[in-house]
Amino acid sequence: MSFPLLTATAALPAIGAIATAAVPAARRTAAKWLALLFSLATLVLAGLVFVRFEPGGDRYQLTESHAWIAEFGVRYELGVDGIGVALLALTALLIPFVILAGWHDADPLETKSSRWRPTQGFFALILMVEAMVILSFEATDVFLFYILFEAMLIPMYFLIGGFGDRAHSGSDENAAAQRSYAAVKFLLYNLAGGLIMLAAVIGLYVVAGSFSLAEIAEARANGSLEMATGTERWLFLGFFFAFAIKAPLWPLHTWLPNAMGEATAPVAVLITAIVDKVGTFAMLRFCLQLFPEASKWATPVIIVLALISIVYGALLAVGQRDIKRLIAYASISHFGFIVLGIFAMTSQGQSGATLYMVNHGISTAALMLVAGFLITRRGSRLIADYGGVQKVAPVLAGTFLIGGLATLSLPGLAPFVSEFLVLVGTFSVYPAAGVIATSGIVLAALYVLVLYQRTMTGPVKAEVRGMPDLRVRELAVALPLIAVLIGLGVYPKPLTEVVNPAVKHTMQDVQKQDPQPEVEAAK
């Protein structure tokens, strides 16, 4: 038997979480370094997965399969396709930066009790989330995926509710109340989706008699598993609802601004750049593969919802007064693009959507983490409290601008490639939807530039004067992310190579073909 690389990639951060949690209270710094070390080791393993994965090979590679709950046919089945590899790499790449950016976010305010270990807990929870997210990208057993999909809510709940943003306009009690409101809202919203998905998972088992993705998909493809139209649609809706909450899609989005606003910046990145990607990833992997007919049936509605998300999210971002909520609404707009690309059901759209997941993760991380550095300095999240930062902290302003430009999909940076692919993929089948979505690029420019103008330019505000520029640790967070953004913007080929075959498989699942260009079709 070969070395279980996928299990190891998920197990390493889990072990790291336990090890970090076990570090004695007094050795906080050691716990941080330990967590960073484990996340870097995971990155190495993820790199190994990326290298070992052969784009031209089988659909699922590096597979592992063990009996788990034999009575119900639940198996511990892992395997990655190109889409999974890309997202796995994204997760492993971002976590070290999340840890590094949150270096001081969980330092105890007063060291009264020697047994109180918030720092250890914070980093252990982050690693725990990483382990679960990575495993969920690898799971090819529907039940296993469901368990992880739900279980990752628990560490996230504690991360949001337990470690809030210290920059809060209200009193301490007020802050705590809002924080716990956000955490509970996050948990309940996602649990509600998860429970409906559980019902659908059970329904699927009743219909198909198996939880194995590969088995069901194959049975669906060769016709040995017939599903009544109504059944398929209900099951699809059950799955899709859960994923649409996680993604989040309008109108199921309202938990995101609260959660991102109240959480610390690194945790906000964890939510939007990593955990939410499980939702869109699952649409691509489970909804389309298990329920191709129902997916096509629901496409018109989903396209409309995605368009609403794009425009609505962007407009609301323009109207925000809080930096982090603004970024949250921008993310909602971007998730609209991802869903649009997935359900346009063209090669360009789906490749674009996958790249979009990766690129959005990196660009949001860059913007949000730098915003976090800014917020920590001034102790306020309100845009109006800033002004003229560019003058006192040019490097901070510069990195913030590049993060913002990535968010507005400036050509040359990575998000442009994916956004354009999504637009082209959508336009070739739904021209009107493509044009409406294109208006998102103007709105994106509006909210990013308004944010930049109000915080960074203009006369220097008194409170901002004396603000230090980025420190070495913060530069170590911002610069590599920017380098990746530029690198993937100019040379996205390594990623597209991995993603293309997987998209081809998905296109076969839904039995769709790209429309031929008019001129060639005429020939």
The residue ranges that bind another protein (CB under 8 A) are: 185, 188-189, 250-251, 253-255, 312, 315-316, 318-320, 347-348, 351-352, 388, 390-391, 398, 405, 410-412, 416-417, 420-421, 423-424, 427-428, 431, 434-435, 438-439, 441-442, 445-446, 449-450, 453, 456-460, 490-493, 496-497, 500, 503-504, 514-520, 522
Give min distance, CB of 384 to another protein, in A: 14
Question: Which CB sits closer to another protein, 30 or 460?
Answer: 460
Alpha-carbon span 461 to 389, nearest angstrom: 8
Report residue 130: phi and psi, to 5°.
Answer: -60, -45
How far is CA 436 from its chain centroid? 24
Give min distance, CB of 158 to another protein, in A: 21
Question: Which CB sits closer to another protein, 157 or 291?
Answer: 157
Give min distance, CB of 124 to another protein, in A: 30
Cβ–Cβ < 8 Å for 280, 244: no
Question: Which CB sits closer to another protein, 237 or 486?
Answer: 486
Question: Which CB sits closer to another protein, 16 or 336?
Answer: 336
Question: Which CB sits closer to another protein, 143 or 416?
Answer: 416
Alpha-carbon span 465 to 295, nearest angstrom: 55
Give min distance, CB of 409 to another protein, in A: 9
Give min distance, CB of 358 to another protein, in A: 14
Q: CB burial class (10 A; 0-12, 13-18, 19+) of residue 483? A: exposed
| Token code pair at residue 359 | 């690129």
Alpha-carbon span 100 to 105, nearest angstrom: 10
Give min distance, CB of 120 to another protein, in A: 33
Question: Which CB sits closer to another protein, 57 or 209?
Answer: 57
Alpha-carbon span 502 to 522, nearest angstrom: 30
The CA-based angle 109-112-114, given to 5 degrees, is 105
Give min distance, CB of 345 to another protein, in A: 13
| Token code pair at residue 266 | 């690194």
Question: Which CB sits closer to another protein, 75 or 246?
Answer: 246
What sign results for the dihedral spanned by CA atoms 204, 208, 209, 215?
A: negative
> What residues contact residue 216 under an 8 Å CB cut-off, 6+ apart?
142, 204, 208, 210, 225, 290
